[in-house]
């Protein structure tokens, strides 16, 4: 997922599509946010993170909440906000400790963080990350209320 990208043309199409959707429901929001996260461009990834934040706040579906946290982790990783990404993943693991897909991503992000740290590129805590801090606590709380 970290190396899978959407083409600018496909994203443009998705944006036009989304733009003409009146009152998008949470699935439609989720789908568009997912397309944004797959972009190569920072601004679009940030836009996707913001939209996921909306989905997370409005949905009552536990699965969608979990999937949203997972993709926010991917988005944050792409922006090199590794600590933030790990927090999202950890909040899923608190509820589903054996989820292999999430564990694998956790390990991968951790590796990336160490590698980037070593070559001095670690950027932790950007503006985008700060806005989401509140969400994690919320996420952990909501997910564990099962």
Partner 1 sequence: MSNSTNSGPYNYTYIFKYIIIGDMGVGKSCLLHQFTEKKFMADCPHTIGVEFGTRIIEVSGQKIKLQIWDTAGQERFRAVTRSYYRGAAGALMVYDITRRSTYNHLSSWLTDARSLTHPNTVIYLIGNKGDLEAQRDVSYEEAKQFADENGLLFLEASAKTGQNVEEAFLETAKKIYQNILDGSLDLNAAETGVQPKQPMPKPVSNEAKPSDSQCSC
Residues lying near partner 1 in the complex (CB under 8 A): 1, 4, 6, 14, 27, 30-31, 34-35, 38, 63-64, 66-67, 70-71, 96, 99-102
3-class DSSP assignment, residue 77 = helix
| CB nearer to partner 1: pick between 103 and 126 | 103
CA distance 91 to 83: 12
- Any idea what DSSP says for residue 42? H
Instruction: Compute the least distance from the CB of residue 130 to partner 1, in Å.
Output: 25
Instruction: Compute the least distance from the CB of residue 144 to partner 1, in Å.
Output: 15
CA distances (Å), 96 to each of 3, 10, 101, 106, 113, in order? 25, 34, 11, 13, 23
Instruction: Compute the least distance from the CB of residue 122 to partner 1, in Å.
Output: 26
Instruction: Compute the least distance from the CB of residue 120 to partner 1, in Å.
Output: 30
| CB nearer to partner 1: pick between 35 and 77 | 35
CA distance 16 to 19: 5
């Amino acid at each position: 997922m970290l190396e899978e990208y959407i083409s600018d043309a496909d994203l443009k199409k998705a944006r036009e599509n989304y733009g003409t959707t009146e009152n998008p429901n949470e699935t439609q929001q989720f789908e568009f946010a997912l397309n944004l996260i797959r972009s190569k461009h920072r601004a679009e990834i940030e836009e996707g993170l913001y939209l996921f934040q909306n989905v997370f706040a409005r949905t009552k579906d536990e699965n969608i909440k979990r999937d949203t946290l997972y993709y926010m982790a991917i988005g944050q990783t792409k922006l090199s906000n590794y600590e933030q990404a790990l927090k999202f993943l950890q909040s899923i693991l608190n509820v589903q400790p054996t989820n292999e897909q999430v564990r694998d991503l956790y390990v991968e992000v951790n590796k990336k963080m160490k590698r980037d740290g070593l070559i001095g590129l670690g950027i932790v805590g950007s503006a985008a990350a700060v806005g989401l801090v509140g969400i994690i606590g919320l996420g952990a709380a909501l997910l564990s209320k099962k």
